[in-house]
Amino acid sequence: MANERSFTKALFHGAIPEEMVFPWPEPGKDERENTALLLEGVRSFAAREIDAARIDREAEIPPAVLQGMRDLGLFGLHIPHEYGGRGLSATASARVVQELAFHDASVATTLAAHLSLGVAGVMAFGTEAQKKKYLPSLASGERIAAFALSEPGTGSDASAIQTRAERNGAGEGFVLHGTKQWVTNGGIADLFTVFARTTVHNGQSKPRITCLLVEREDGVKTGAQQLRMGLRGASITEASMDGVTVPAGRVLGEEARGFKVAMEVLNTGRLSLAAGCLGACKKLIALSVQRALDRKAFGRSIGEFGMIKDKIARMMTEAFALESMTYLTTGLVDARVPDFSLESAISKVYGSEVLWRVAGEAMQIAAGSGYMQGHPSERILRDARVNMIFEGTNEILRAFIALSGMQGPGRTLSEVGRAMREPIKGFGLLSDFALLKARTVLGRERLNRAHPTLRRETVIFEEYVGMLSKNVDKVLRRHGKDIAEMQYTQRRVADMAIDLFGLAACLARTSRAIERKGEEGARREVELTAAFANGAEKRLQVNVAAFDNNDDELLKGIAAQAYQDGAYPFDVV
Ligand SMILES: Cc1cc2nc3c(=O)[nH]c(=O)nc-3n(C[C@H](O)[C@H](O)[C@H](O)COP(=O)(O)OP(=O)(O)OC[C@H]3O[C@@H](n4cnc5c(N)ncnc54)[C@H](O)[C@@H]3O)c2cc1C
């Protein structure tokens, strides 16, 4: 059956649970006013205190900036009031991270790592005692949090971490041995969410991952700043734990279920990351528009040239789609939709790639000046690159989007297979499947709530939801479990899901804008939605055609040959 708990997973079945994304989620009046007031405060604080060029140059966020963030209550944005936080929604909290990222990526990353990685774990998995103990000081910023999963030997493959947590003598606490790498906030954090292998003696002695709350005073040693391309102001260090004793009561979530903690925390983290990408895009668009108007060439402003207009229009379109995806997803979180894992992964992948394209085009518009050290375009481009790498690389996330999305239809198919083999026992399953098919394949699923002005874009969405489900069905029947190894196909499926979620988000947002402002008032949103839909339609067409007609084998062969040669073997002399 279609998984009604996740909007995007349902699309893989060909179903469109439109009530999950329509009407476009908007914060209530009070929250809007509070957030606007807070943003005003953040803007004037940033204008006074945040000097992004200096932070980059000196590779440090000045203590006055961290103190200003504390004074504004930023370290407790979405921590509930009862624990001393501001009690904001996920939407408002992401909006503040976006604002900080407009001014400086290192500052935004410091806050996002604290809130969306460190604090998020305590909020989602902490016991009442753990929440009472840690959240108030985390909310005030007296304590800063960090998330320590990656290690020198492993990043993407989190299940292969080597840090060990052994029961101490009394059998109550743990002793930790291991080193974590690239811990954001490493040098300034007081509380580390540490993932380690534990051996559970419940008959099976297989090591499992457990998440522990470790205080700096327990004995965590952090190294110097790890020098890097961008995000230079953030404190990113190693953290080593050589025989660190962690007292009882510090397991976060269930013992041996730490992998689940890590994955769920990262779902939240990816949303902050997407919001940060949006903030940086907005800054780059502002810089690019200014440059397009001011810079003269051939007796005209460069903004008058078609190729420059094209860049600005694409930046605008992609930023609009990113904004729509990100805040549709925070709206799902605020509506307590239990599964937003695909939507947050999609927002992260799309956001990081949009920012990278926008940063490239902003550099092109700024041209020679933009390439010079100290120019904001140069700094923001360096800061932007890591977003495609951390919190799940975009390759890992594309595989995740495709495989999680296909899990539902895969299960349905295997149930059908079983039902066919055991027709009497499987009758119920077969009729479920028949119902689903009747709903989605025989008649195309409709999106009824989009505004009629957006009919053309709505039809594109409906048509390609059908195509996604049809092609997923086809590849699952053809390849079964082998799909887990077929990354070319996974990439196509993931890219279709990204475009479809983006289209749904633009449709929901623009429909709401038309209802509120009328067609003329919402003309610009309508145009941006049309521009995004046109691009998405072309990409969707290419992806659909490539399920049957592609050069996957040719490219695999070329890569295999390169591995054999060990390098590029050709030369012209
Ligand atoms: C600035 C910065 C800050 C960071 N902050 C933190 C932090 O606070 N906490 C933390 O725990 N970690 C942090 N990290 C680590 C980060 O999450 C990892 O770098 C990331 O998960 C990728 O791991 P890796 O670098 O080891 O790459 P690898 O896992 O070695 O991957 C190398 C390449 O292979 C690809 N690849 C790997 N497996 C697959 C696969 N199955 N299919 C297809 N492609 C694959 C990857 O996509 C990538 O392109 C940070 C990293 C950086 C750079």
Check residue 422 and give its pLDDT: 56
The residue nearest atom 31 of ligand 1, judged by CA position, is 156
Active site residue 18: no
What spacing in Å lies between the alpha carbon of 190 and ligand 1's midpoint?
A: 24
What spacing in Å lies between the alpha carbon of 390 and ligand 1's midpoint?
A: 6
Q: Which CATH superfamily is domain 146-260 in?
A: Butyryl-CoA Dehydrogenase, subunit A, domain 2 (2.40.110.10)
> Residue 430 — pLDDT band, cuts 50, 70, 90?
very low
248 has a pLDDT exceeding 70: yes
User: pLDDT tens digit string along 175-189?
Assistant: 999 999 999 999 999
Instruction: Give ranges for CATH 1.20.140.10 in the chain.
Output: 396-559
For the CA of 236, the closest atom of ligand 1 is: 3
DSSP state of 24: P
pLDDT above 90 covers a percentage of the chain that reads 89
What is the C-alpha to C-alpha distance for residues 383 and 359, in angstroms, rounded to an integer? Answer: 10
The residue nearest atom 17 of ligand 1, judged by CA position, is 390
SS3 47: helix
Instruction: Give ranges for CATH 2.40.110.10 in the chain.
Output: 146-260
Q: Classify domain 396-559 at the CATH topology level.
A: Butyryl-CoA Dehydrogenase, subunit A; domain 3 (1.20.140)
CB contact at 8 A, 406 and 354 = no
Sign of CA pseudo-dihedral 558, 564, 566, 572: negative
Check residue 287 and give its pLDDT: 98
User: pLDDT tens digit string along 376-386?
Assistant: 999 999 999 99
What is the pTM (predicted TM-score) of this model?
0.95
User: pLDDT tens digit string along 479-524?
Assistant: 998 999 999 999 999 999 999 999 999 999 999 999 999 999 999 9
Contacts of 114 (CB under 8 A, 6+ apart): 75, 138, 144, 145, 146, 185, 189
DSSP state of 439: I
Check residue 420 and give its pLDDT: 56
> Residue 416 — pLDDT band, cuts 50, 70, 90?
low
Residue 4 CB less than 6 A away from ligand 1: no
Residue 255 CB less than 6 A away from ligand 1: no
What spacing in Å lies between the alpha carbon of 159 and ligand 1's midpoint?
A: 13
Phi, psi of 429 (to 5 degrees): -65, -45
80, 300, 335 from 278: Cα distances, Å:
26, 30, 22
Mean pLDDT of 20-40: 95
25-143 in CATH: which number?
A: 1.10.540.10
Residue 266 CB less than 6 A away from ligand 1: no
Residue 301 CB less than 6 A away from ligand 1: no
Mean pLDDT of 280-306: 98
What spacing in Å lies between the alpha carbon of 380 and ligand 1's midpoint?
A: 21
Higher per-residue confidence, 440 vs 299: 299
- Catalytic, out of 391, 445, 462, 537: 391
Mean pLDDT of 51-72: 98
Residue 531 CB less than 6 A away from ligand 1: no
User: pLDDT tens digit string along 546-570?
Assistant: 999 999 999 999 999 999 999 999 9
CB contact at 8 A, 390 and 348 = no
Instruction: Give ranges for CATH 1.10.540.10 in the chain.
Output: 25-143
Residue 399 CB less than 6 A away from ligand 1: yes
108, 281, 392 from 318: Cα distances, Å:
21, 9, 22
Residue 325 CB less than 6 A away from ligand 1: no
Total Cβ atoms within 10 A of residue 193: 27
What is the C-alpha to C-alpha distance for residues 499 and 476, in angstroms, rounded to an integer? Answer: 21
Peptide bond into 17 cis (omega under 30): no
Q: What is the mean pLDDT of the chain?
A: 94
